[in-house]
Amino acid sequence: MKKVLLLLLAMMFSGQAFADEIFSTLFRFKGVAPMSNDLYNESCGECHYAYQAGLLPKVSWEKLMLVDELEDHFGEVADLDEEDRIELLNLLVDNAADTSFYKRSMKISRSIPDGVTLLRITEVPYIKRKHKPMTDKYVKNNPKVKSLINCNACHRQIDKGIFDDDTILIPNYGYWSELDDD
Protein backbone atom coordinates (compact mmCIF):
# COMPACT_ATOMS: atom_id res chain seq x y z
CA MET A 1 0.00 0.00 0.00
CA LYS A 2 2.79 2.35 0.96
CA LYS A 3 4.51 1.53 -2.31
CA VAL A 4 1.44 2.38 -4.33
CA LEU A 5 1.10 5.71 -2.56
CA LEU A 6 4.74 6.48 -3.19
CA LEU A 7 4.32 5.63 -6.85
CA LEU A 8 1.26 7.86 -7.12
CA LEU A 9 3.14 10.68 -5.43
CA ALA A 10 6.06 10.20 -7.76
CA MET A 11 3.73 10.32 -10.75
CA MET A 12 2.01 13.46 -9.50
CA PHE A 13 5.23 15.34 -9.00
CA SER A 14 7.09 14.13 -12.04
CA GLY A 15 7.05 15.95 -15.33
CA GLN A 16 4.52 15.45 -18.06
CA ALA A 17 6.98 13.53 -20.22
CA PHE A 18 7.60 10.98 -17.51
CA ALA A 19 3.91 10.48 -16.90
CA ASP A 20 3.39 10.02 -20.64
CA GLU A 21 6.10 7.41 -20.69
CA ILE A 22 4.44 5.47 -17.87
CA PHE A 23 1.00 5.67 -19.42
CA SER A 24 2.13 4.76 -22.90
CA THR A 25 3.88 1.66 -21.56
CA LEU A 26 1.09 0.68 -19.21
CA PHE A 27 -1.85 1.21 -21.48
CA ARG A 28 -0.44 0.52 -24.89
CA PHE A 29 -1.87 -2.74 -26.13
CA LYS A 30 -1.35 -2.06 -29.82
CA GLY A 31 1.50 -4.37 -30.76
CA VAL A 32 2.47 -7.53 -28.92
CA ALA A 33 3.50 -7.82 -25.27
CA PRO A 34 7.25 -7.24 -24.80
CA MET A 35 9.29 -10.02 -23.19
CA SER A 36 11.25 -9.00 -20.13
CA ASN A 37 12.14 -12.43 -18.76
CA ASP A 38 15.92 -12.80 -18.48
CA LEU A 39 15.94 -16.57 -18.80
CA TYR A 40 13.90 -16.32 -22.00
CA ASN A 41 15.97 -13.59 -23.56
CA GLU A 42 19.20 -15.38 -22.71
CA SER A 43 18.19 -18.90 -23.65
CA CYS A 44 16.49 -18.08 -26.94
CA GLY A 45 18.30 -14.87 -27.81
CA GLU A 46 21.65 -16.63 -27.79
CA CYS A 47 20.97 -17.98 -31.28
CA HIS A 48 18.16 -15.94 -32.78
CA TYR A 49 15.94 -13.00 -31.98
CA ALA A 50 13.94 -13.86 -28.86
CA TYR A 51 10.54 -13.69 -30.53
CA GLN A 52 7.69 -12.55 -28.33
CA ALA A 53 5.32 -15.21 -27.03
CA GLY A 54 2.44 -13.20 -28.48
CA LEU A 55 3.57 -13.99 -32.02
CA LEU A 56 2.29 -17.58 -31.89
CA PRO A 57 -0.66 -19.28 -30.20
CA LYS A 58 -0.46 -21.65 -27.26
CA VAL A 59 -0.60 -24.87 -29.31
CA SER A 60 2.43 -23.77 -31.33
CA TRP A 61 4.57 -23.10 -28.27
CA GLU A 62 3.47 -26.36 -26.65
CA LYS A 63 4.70 -28.26 -29.69
CA LEU A 64 7.90 -26.24 -30.21
CA MET A 65 8.94 -26.72 -26.60
CA LEU A 66 8.54 -30.52 -26.57
CA VAL A 67 11.80 -32.32 -25.70
CA ASP A 68 11.92 -34.05 -29.08
CA GLU A 69 11.18 -30.86 -30.98
CA LEU A 70 13.98 -28.99 -29.22
CA GLU A 71 16.38 -31.79 -30.15
CA ASP A 72 15.68 -30.92 -33.77
CA HIS A 73 14.81 -27.23 -33.69
CA PHE A 74 14.64 -26.45 -37.41
CA GLY A 75 17.78 -28.56 -37.89
CA GLU A 76 19.62 -27.27 -34.82
CA VAL A 77 20.05 -28.92 -31.42
CA ALA A 78 18.39 -26.60 -28.91
CA ASP A 79 17.83 -28.81 -25.89
CA LEU A 80 17.42 -27.15 -22.51
CA ASP A 81 17.70 -28.12 -18.86
CA GLU A 82 14.36 -29.65 -17.90
CA GLU A 83 13.87 -26.97 -15.25
CA ASP A 84 14.48 -24.19 -17.78
CA ARG A 85 12.35 -25.88 -20.42
CA ILE A 86 9.33 -26.01 -18.12
CA GLU A 87 9.79 -22.41 -16.99
CA LEU A 88 10.08 -21.16 -20.57
CA LEU A 89 7.17 -23.29 -21.75
CA ASN A 90 4.95 -21.83 -19.02
CA LEU A 91 6.06 -18.31 -19.84
CA LEU A 92 5.31 -18.81 -23.55
CA VAL A 93 1.94 -20.43 -22.97
CA ASP A 94 0.88 -17.76 -20.45
CA ASN A 95 1.68 -14.99 -22.92
CA ALA A 96 0.72 -16.72 -26.17
CA ALA A 97 -1.12 -14.87 -28.95
CA ASP A 98 -4.49 -16.43 -28.13
CA THR A 99 -4.30 -15.43 -24.46
CA SER A 100 -3.08 -11.88 -25.12
CA PHE A 101 -5.23 -8.80 -25.57
CA TYR A 102 -2.62 -6.93 -27.54
CA LYS A 103 -3.97 -5.90 -30.93
CA ARG A 104 -1.49 -7.69 -33.16
CA SER A 105 -1.55 -10.87 -31.07
CA MET A 106 -5.32 -11.00 -31.48
CA LYS A 107 -4.98 -10.50 -35.23
CA ILE A 108 -2.37 -13.26 -35.40
CA SER A 109 -4.55 -15.60 -33.41
CA ARG A 110 -7.67 -14.88 -35.47
CA SER A 111 -5.85 -15.44 -38.78
CA ILE A 112 -4.88 -19.04 -38.01
CA PRO A 113 -7.50 -21.63 -38.97
CA ASP A 114 -8.79 -23.96 -36.26
CA GLY A 115 -6.90 -27.22 -35.87
CA VAL A 116 -3.73 -25.90 -37.49
CA THR A 117 -0.51 -25.93 -35.44
CA LEU A 118 2.07 -23.63 -36.99
CA LEU A 119 5.69 -23.89 -35.95
CA ARG A 120 7.01 -20.93 -37.90
CA ILE A 121 6.08 -17.34 -37.19
CA THR A 122 6.56 -16.60 -40.89
CA GLU A 123 3.71 -18.99 -41.69
CA VAL A 124 1.10 -17.12 -39.68
CA PRO A 125 -1.43 -15.88 -42.28
CA TYR A 126 -1.64 -12.37 -40.81
CA ILE A 127 2.15 -12.00 -40.75
CA LYS A 128 2.48 -13.53 -44.23
CA ARG A 129 -0.04 -11.05 -45.59
CA LYS A 130 1.67 -8.12 -43.91
CA HIS A 131 5.02 -9.10 -45.45
CA LYS A 132 3.78 -9.56 -49.03
CA PRO A 133 5.43 -6.31 -50.20
CA MET A 134 8.75 -7.56 -48.81
CA THR A 135 10.19 -8.84 -52.07
CA ASP A 136 13.60 -10.49 -52.43
CA LYS A 137 15.43 -7.22 -52.91
CA TYR A 138 14.42 -6.07 -49.42
CA VAL A 139 14.89 -9.37 -47.63
CA LYS A 140 16.52 -12.39 -49.26
CA ASN A 141 19.01 -10.47 -51.39
CA ASN A 142 19.58 -7.82 -48.75
CA PRO A 143 22.76 -8.91 -46.93
CA LYS A 144 21.71 -7.09 -43.78
CA VAL A 145 18.32 -8.81 -43.62
CA LYS A 146 18.61 -12.19 -45.43
CA SER A 147 15.44 -13.72 -44.04
CA LEU A 148 12.12 -12.76 -42.49
CA ILE A 149 13.19 -14.60 -39.34
CA ASN A 150 15.48 -11.67 -38.54
CA CYS A 151 12.56 -9.48 -37.42
CA ASN A 152 14.79 -6.99 -35.66
CA ALA A 153 16.75 -6.22 -38.83
CA CYS A 154 13.91 -3.88 -39.87
CA HIS A 155 11.51 -3.66 -36.91
CA ARG A 156 13.54 -1.19 -34.89
CA GLN A 157 11.13 -1.01 -31.92
CA ILE A 158 10.49 -4.71 -31.72
CA ASP A 159 11.91 -5.01 -28.18
CA LYS A 160 8.99 -2.85 -27.05
CA GLY A 161 6.57 -5.02 -29.01
CA ILE A 162 5.95 -2.25 -31.55
CA PHE A 163 5.60 -3.14 -35.23
CA ASP A 164 4.04 0.06 -36.60
CA ASP A 165 4.92 1.09 -40.17
CA ASP A 166 6.87 4.15 -39.07
CA THR A 167 9.24 1.98 -37.02
CA ILE A 168 10.29 -0.14 -40.02
CA LEU A 169 13.73 0.80 -41.28
CA ILE A 170 14.97 -1.52 -44.02
CA PRO A 171 18.78 -1.63 -44.19
CA ASN A 172 20.12 -0.25 -47.50
CA TYR A 173 16.66 1.17 -48.36
CA GLY A 174 15.37 3.39 -45.57
CA TYR A 175 12.12 3.88 -43.70
CA TRP A 176 9.34 1.76 -45.16
CA SER A 177 6.78 4.54 -44.74
CA GLU A 178 8.90 6.82 -46.92
CA LEU A 179 9.66 4.32 -49.65
CA ASP A 180 8.05 4.50 -53.07
CA ASP A 181 7.75 0.85 -53.81
CA ASP A 182 7.70 0.12 -57.53
Partner 1 sequence: MKKAMILAATLFLTPILAQADVIQERLDSYKAEGAGNFSAEAGKKMWTQVIPFEKKGEMMKDRSCATCHNAVPNTPGKHAKTGKVIAPMTLGSVSINRKGVEEQRFSTVKKVEKWFKRNCKWTYGRICTPQEKGDFLMFFKSL
Q: Residues in the site for partner 1, rule: CB under 8 A?
A: 41-42, 45, 47-48, 50, 71, 75-81, 146
Among residues 30 and 45, whose Cβ is nearest to partner 1? 45
Question: Least Å distance between CB 71 and partner 1?
Answer: 8
Contacts of residue 78, Cβ cutoff 8 Å, sequence gap at least 6: 47, 70, 71
Rank residues 40 and 108 by Cβ distance to partner 1 and give the closer one.
Answer: 40
Determine the residue type at 37.
N
- Residue 152 and residue 158 in contact, taking contact as beta carbons nearer than 8 Å: yes
Asked whether the beta carbons of 76 and 47 are under 8 A apart, the reply is yes
**Could you give the CA distance from residue 44 to residue 103 in angstroms, rounded to a whole number?**
24
What is the smallest separation between the CB atom of 124 and partner 1, expressed in angstroms?
20
Q: Considering the complex, what minimum distance in angstroms separates the CB of residue 87 from partner 1?
A: 14
Give the Cβ contact number of residue 90 at 10 Å.
Answer: 12
* 59 versus 80: smaller Cβ distance to partner 1: 80
Between 15 and 75, whose beta carbon lies closer to partner 1? 75
